[in-house]
Chains A and B, each alone.
Chain A
Amino acid sequence: MLFHTLLFYVFATVLIGAALGVVFARNPVHSIMFLVLTFFQAAVLWLMAEAEFLAIVLVLVYVGAVMVLFLFVVMMLNVEVEAVKRGLVRYAPLAIVISLIMAVELVQLIWVRGAVTGASYGFAPNPEGYDNTKALGAVLYTEHVYAFEIAAVVLLLAIVAAITLTMRKRPGLKVQDIGKQVSVRAKDRVRIVKMKSESKS
């Protein structure tokens, strides 16, 4: 148990360090790599709480897809570092207030409510043969099926909206029509002109 606690603090320290790195790194690409590290550490903490489905999905979705696109955009845009630094100072009070509110809420949730319900520290280990994924699926598709389906439809709507935004037709846009390219015949492109050879004069 001591080993477990020690591991928790090591990973939590790395997580907080990485999260600070996201804010204070000079280079935006470094910031993103710190954010990736933060997600990884959060996933490890979830694994330690035996929530392996959530942990691996966090890595799969955020590290594998979302952060790759972030990296893509940041590399393409060449963010101006000085402007970002000025913004850091300007927004610092607001950020501190928000993080304080979140910290107070967490303390309220964990300590105060924990004291009321008499919950102990740590998690009771799951019984042998317990499948995290199955348990989650059983709850999602029965008890919370409406919320789940609404979330799915909202996401679908976002996808459709994003695609329609890119579908606008500009006049004079040159696009390849693959059907036309395939059906093209030699006689449409090349005109063979037969002429008699000229005599030397």
Chain B
Amino acid sequence: MIDLMPQFIVNIWDSLPPLVQYLTVVTWKILFVTICVILAVAFSTYFERKVIGSMQSRVGPNRVGPLGLGQPFADVIKLLIKEIVIPTESNKFLFVIAPLLSLIPALATWAVMPLHPGFTIANINAGLLYVLALTSVGVYGVILAGWATNSKYAFLGAMRSAAQIVAYEIAMGFALVGVLMAGGSLNLGVIVEAQSGGFSNWFLLPLFPLFIVYWISGVAETNRAPFDVAEGESEIVAGFHVEYSGVAFALFFLAEYANMVLISGLTALFFLGGWASPLAGWTFLLDTPLAFIAAPSFFWLFLKISFFMYSFFWFRATFPRYRYDQIMRLGWKVFIPVTIVWIAVEAVMAWLRVGPWAGLGA
């Protein structure tokens, strides 16, 4: 890479102070990751409509561009040129700021994601805590949007969302306690490395109940079907974003899908080994053109994220919406006890070095 550059660029680069070099590199990394996330969001809306369409024996979008691939861009342009209506009796400042408050944490969490061996924007020691803290801050956007709108429907949506997210966050946190016990670190890169070296090293099998709890809580945390009572279009119209239009609505939409991609990525990272390849031991592949599938790379993370995104849409097409009290019951009375029991089981099994738990927390 360096060899390809003309000499004068290399010289100018070397003459810059280290702080400026660092800032330039990090800024480019941030821009790169953000643009990739936004593109992933755009195409996952297309993917969602195609998947649900085919599950319901429809065609899905097929008019804009080849195979309808231009549909996300058409939607974005439509939303951009629409007027933003601000209700008269609303709290204007909070009404405008709320979409930003839900989008910023969704994008900022990507800063600590290890996307490729050696590629992380910020490799911090308390990465897992940072992820938990930022996902819990995201709820402010929803609550403030519901309150600032000054509408009963929006307010109901906000209240439902607040109670739901607080409930499921505890289960998520406990599931992550199991992961950090197994990985022996709060650093996401170290957690992924602890799982590298083939399928049997993933935390999926030894932590299977925690994986299920984390994944379902993740679906609840993003307010997706079957836990989408905060929107509940058949009960409270559209919940917290009922009065939002144009770009403000697009921001909520972007935040929701960015959160979905994020939860998919985090689940892949914590339980399916992130960028680690399940075929790591297959040395006979090394001389073939298929060598890249045996090596750890972004390719595998992408595959895992795509699988979880597909399951998000699959759930939406197949499950009916949960009743509100059932959601609360599932969160408090089922998931939290399951996680606590499994943390104890994991600790005892790892201590006694039994079965798949033997290598954990080493």
Chain A contact residues, CB within 8 Å of chain B: 27, 29-30, 33, 36, 52-53, 56-57, 59-60, 63-65, 68-69, 71-72, 75-76, 131-133, 176
Closest A residue to B97 by beta carbon equals A33
Q: Is the CB of A64 within 8 A of B126?
A: no
How far apart sit A63 and B126, CA to CA, in the bound complex (Å)? 17
Partner of B126, one of A30, A52, A75, A176: A52
Q: Return the chain B residue nearest A130 by Cβ.
A: B125
Interface-side segment among B61-69, B74-82, B161-169 = B161-169
**A57 nearest CB neighbor, chain B only:** B129
Determine if B186 is an interface residue (Cβ-Cβ < 8 Å): yes
Does any Cβ of A come within 8 Å of B358's Cβ?
no
A63 in complex: contacting residue of B124, B136, B162, CB < 8 Å: B136
Which residues of chain B are within 8 angstroms of A71 by Cβ–Cβ distance? 140, 143, 147, 162
A56 adjacent to B162 (CB under 8 Å): no
A68-B126 in contact (CB<8A): no
- Given contact pairs A52-B125, A68-B136, enumerate 19 new A-B contacts (beta carbons under 8 Å): A29-B94, A36-B140, A52-B124, A56-B130, A57-B129, A59-B133, A63-B133, A63-B137, A64-B137, A65-B136, A68-B139, A68-B165, A72-B162, A75-B143, A75-B155, A75-B159, A76-B159, A133-B126, A176-B325
Cα of A74 to Cα of B361 in the assembled complex, Å: 43
B354 within 8 Å of A (CB atoms): no
Classify the interface of chain B: helix, strand, loop or mixed.
helix
Other-chain contact of B166, A29, A36, A65 (Cβ < 8 Å): A65
CA distance A131 to B132 in the complex (A): 19
| Residues from chain A with Cβ under 8 Å of B165 in the complex | 68
Say which residue of A52, A53, A64 sits within 8 Å of B169 (CB atoms).
Answer: A64
List residues of chain B with CB within 8 A of the CB of A65.
136, 166, 169
Our pick among B125, B137, B139 for the contact of A131 (Cβ within 8 Å) is B125
The 4 closest A-B pairs by CB, nearest first: A64-B136, A60-B133, A59-B133, A56-B129
Smallest beta-carbon distance A14→chain B, Å: 16
Nearest chain-B residue to A72 (Cβ)? B162
* Residues of chain A with a CB closer than 8 A to B144's CB: 29, 33
Across the interface, B140 reaches (CB within 8 A) one of A57, A68, A133, A176, namely: A68
Kindly count the residue-residue contacts between A and B in the assembled complex, taking CB atoms under 8 Å apart. Answer: 68
Check if A29 sits within 8 Å of B147, measured CB to CB: yes
Q: How far is the CA of A69 from the CA of B124 in the complex (A)?
A: 29
Assembly CA distance A76 to B133 (angstroms): 25
Residue of B91, B163, B325 touching A72 (CB-CB under 8 A): B163
B344 to chain A, nearest CB (A): 15
Inter-subunit contact A75/B133 (CB<8 Å):
no
| Pairwise interchain contact A132-B166, C-beta atoms closer than 8 A | no
A56 to B129, CA, bound (A): 7
Pairs across A and B, CB under 8 Å, 15 listed? A33-B144, A36-B140, A52-B126, A56-B129, A60-B136, A63-B133, A64-B137, A64-B139, A65-B136, A65-B166, A68-B166, A72-B143, A75-B155, A76-B159, A133-B125
With the chains together, A52 CA to B124 CA distance in Å? 9
Q: In the complex, how many angstroms separate the beta carbon of A139 from the nearest chain B beta carbon?
A: 17
- Which residues of B142-165 have CB atoms within 8 Å of chain A's CB atoms? 143-144, 147, 155, 158-159, 162-163, 165
Task: Report B-chain residues with C-beta under 8 Å of the C-beta of A27.
Answer: 91
Residues of the A chain whose Cβ atoms lie less than 8 Å from the Cβ of B136? 60, 63-65, 68
Which residue of B has the minimal Cβ distance to A63? B137
Task: Provide the bound-state CA to CA distance between A57 and B173, in Å.
Answer: 12
CA distance A29 to B139 in the complex (A): 15
A53-B126 CB under 8 A given contacts A60-B136, A75-B155: yes
A103 to B53, CA, bound (A): 65
Provide the residues of chain A in CB contact with B155, threshold 8 Å.
75
- Bound complex: CA of A173 vs CA of B323, how far in Å? 20
Within 8 A of A (CB), among B32-88: none
Q: A68-B143, A72-B162 are in contact. Are A132 and B137 (CB under 8 A)?
A: no
Q: How far is the CB of B72 from chain A (nearest CB, A)?
A: 32
Once bound together, how far apart are the Cα atoms of A53 and B166, in whole Å? 21
Interface string of B108-146 (1 = CB under 8 A from A): 000000000000000011100110110011011001100
A60 to B144, CA, bound (A): 18
